[in-house]
Structure 1
Amino acid sequence: MARSSVKFKDTVAAYESLSAEAAKGEFAPVYLLMGEESYFIDALSRQLASTILTEAEQAFNQITVYGRDTEAGQVVNLCRQMPMMGSREVIVVKEAQQMRGLDKLALYTAKPSPTTVLVICHKEKTVDKRSQLYKTCLSGGRVLESVRPRDYEIGSWLTQHVAARGCTIDRKALAMLTDHLGTDLSKIANELTKLLVSLPEGARRIADTDIERHIGISKDYNNFELCRAVARQDAARALTIAAHFARNPKEHPLLVTMLALFSQFRELFLLNYLRWQSRRKGVPMPGDGELMRLLRLNNPYALADLKEAAAAWDNRRVFAVLGLLREYDAKSKGLGAGGATDGELLRELLLKIFTP
């Protein structure tokens, strides 16, 4: 099967569009919600299940089934029955990827009942786009393809997610949260919900102290602070943070730290290259907006810090550091580590970075 051309930003846009339609009371007869990222599938299916029918109508006309326990023919029969004491019925199929004979649903989706809304939640992978099921859902209903974000896409999504709730989040707090939770959108959204509930009444700004207090991530010992210390060539501070990481290896996986450092030096390398190219060709440097896009940064403060750091890191040195990061990434996976712990590997790596 051909690789999907859908990007994370396309998923976000499609989800927001479908969510807005549902909020206005505009519903399609069939929804196919599919893909590896479960967050958008769960969020949209919950919204549809709670808004299409009133609470009183849901008791009679809303049925949820699970793919593992159901066959396609049973779902088709449910969809074709008339609603009781109402004008619509809602059939939600969860874990549809486990259903036997899933493709047979195309017999129904080709000509869905005008009084039924069928919501198919197909996680872990997409439905074959060559299949009749996909084609009929696309032509007569709505399809959401939910793809997982890359690490550099989390920051901008989370910033927008917070803004939609009437709040802002500081750059350091953002980095602390994404470093700690990775790219698991469901986990991030759950932690954020708990965090917003815990904020003082009237508070509209999430700071690093809030992350530390309510989620338990240290505001002084984290990958954001380590990267900042390295960029500023503050060896003492960087080694102090590394020592804290060594004492708490489960909370600070070396792989995550390596990724944070690699991202920073990749950005430094690209920024220095753009400056060199500008001087060589005698053309202006890209503006800040274009630089943020090229460097995959999510706010101007991050760009300002990067510009300041770039002055102290020429590209020969940056290239050498990138080589060290690749070497120690291999060691962290057991290749030539000689039995060293993750904490020892990080300290050794930092000492080599700070030794020109």
Structure 2
Amino acid sequence: MAKSSKKTFRDSAADFEALNRSIDGRKFPPLCLLMGDEPYFIDALTTRLTEEILPKEERAFNQTVVYGKDTDAGAVINLCRQMPMTGSLQVVIVREAQHLRRLEQLSLYAAAPSPSTVLVLCHKEKNMDKRWQLYKQIESRGTVFESVRPRDYEIAGWLTDYIRSKGCTIDPKSVAMLTDFLGADIAKITNELGKLLTFLPEGTKRITAEHIEQNIGISKDFNNFELTKALSERNMPRAMRIADHFARNPKEYPLLLTISAMFAHFQRIFIVNYQQWLARRKGTPVPQDAELARMLKLPSPFFVKEYRQAATLYPNNKVFAVMGLLREYDLKSKGMNAGQADNGELLRELLLKILMI
């Protein structure tokens, strides 16, 4: 049962697993509202409910799928009030319920739902208004699942847990490669991981950068993770080789995403510098790796060592200068004062200026 307090992505992931366990136990409430701005969880739960409530031979007679744009609340109520043609249960699934005409009128049905019907409302893009009588009735008599879109820094932890649920583990560099390349699109991530897990050699229990390169096509040597690492080490030859690779493959490595990755990277260096300054000022110890990893929103304390080392090469006066360059080249990448330079040239210029600070 969902609560009315503000949900987080972590809450959604936990509720998703709990609802899947309920489905495994064949516990189907008469009213089920799947709502929110993260479509992956809603689609996955809808698929499971579609496949699990009724046996395959009954679905043609007792399972109805309608779309919100094509119907209204009255028609849905009529469907829900019908008796099953065979068996003891029918399923009515309303996809894109956020577009259902006179949606709130479903409260007339939700006040006394039929015990022989499971109504599933897929309310994507946003939440149903929690002040509505309909929402309160579903919350009281059925199940509400709120699907919250993840923030970038939340993906790594979820991805690690997801892979563990499939009987594998993954090293931190591989997590960084996947999140760097696939972003926060968890539907895309699960699709790519599904293919990867299918093609892994039998008996493989740990996913490595080599597996990802071979099966997903993400280079283990040329990616934003490796570029920011080269900047951390002030390794100009390595940084420029990566920039040349990006320039040859502009569709795979958009400059805007690279600048965004560098901005997040130098923000973390700033935080490490600030924590070290604060510790000196107060005469207290610098936070341990686990605490710093939490502050930096890193997937693992494994990466903290890099940021501690980078902070010695980039004191905050240099970090501020780098941030200024990143803002300048962000505008140039969008066509402002860029002249005739393409994105590859802009990236090379930017890296040279950063490494010469």
TM-score (norm 1): 0.94
Partner of 1:140: 141
Partner of 2:312: 311
Partner of 1:243: 244
Task: Name the amino acid aligned to 1:327.
Answer: E
**In the aligned structure 1, how far is the partner of 2:103 from the partner of 2:150?**
27
**In the aligned structure 1, how far is the partner of 2:139 from the partner of 2:340?**
54
Partner of 1:198: 199
Partner of 1:290: 291
**In the aligned structure 1, how far is the partner of 2:62 from the partner of 2:172?**
46
Q: By how many angstroms is 1:310 displaced?
A: 2.2
Q: By how many angstroms is 1:304 displaced?
A: 2.5
> 3-state SS of the aligned residue for 2:313?
coil
Q: By how many angstroms is 1:307 displaced?
A: 2.1
What is the alpha-carbon root mean square deviation over aligned residues?
1.6
> 3-state SS of the aligned residue for 1:311?
helix
Task: Name the amino acid aligned to 2:104.
Answer: D
Task: Name the amino acid aligned to 1:184.
Answer: D
Partner of 2:54: 53
**In the aligned structure 2, how far is the partner of 1:206 from the partner of 1:6?**
31
**In the aligned structure 2, how far is the partner of 1:105 from the partner of 1:99?**
10
**In the aligned structure 2, how far is the partner of 1:242 from the partner of 1:217?**
16
| Residue pairs, 1:12-51, within 5 angstroms | 12-51=13-52
**In the aligned structure 1, how far is the partner of 2:273 from the partner of 2:17?**
37
| Residue pairs, 1:168-183, within 5 angstroms | 168-183=169-184
**In the aligned structure 2, how far is the partner of 1:44 from the partner of 1:135?**
21
Partner of 1:208: 209
- Any unmatched runs of 5+ in structure 1? none
> 3-state SS of the aligned residue for 2:336?
coil
Task: State yes or no: 1:101 paired with 2:102.
Answer: yes
Cα deviation 1:26-72 (Å, max 9, x = unaligned): 22211111112100001111122222222233333222222222221
Q: By how many angstroms is 1:203 displaced?
A: 0.9
Q: By how many angstroms is 1:185 displaced?
A: 1.2
**In the aligned structure 1, how far is the partner of 2:300 from the partner of 2:216?**
23
| Residue pairs, 1:117-156, within 5 angstroms | 117-156=118-157
Task: Name the amino acid aligned to 1:156.
Answer: G
> 3-state SS of the aligned residue for 1:340?
coil
**In the aligned structure 1, how far is the partner of 2:11 from the partner of 2:168?**
24
**In the aligned structure 2, how far is the partner of 1:288 from the partner of 1:28?**
45
Partner of 2:353: 352
Comparing 112-121 with 286-295, greater Cα deviation is found at: 286-295
TM-score (norm 2): 0.94
Q: By how many angstroms is 1:84 displaced?
A: 3.3
Task: State yes or no: 1:162 paired with 2:160.
Answer: no
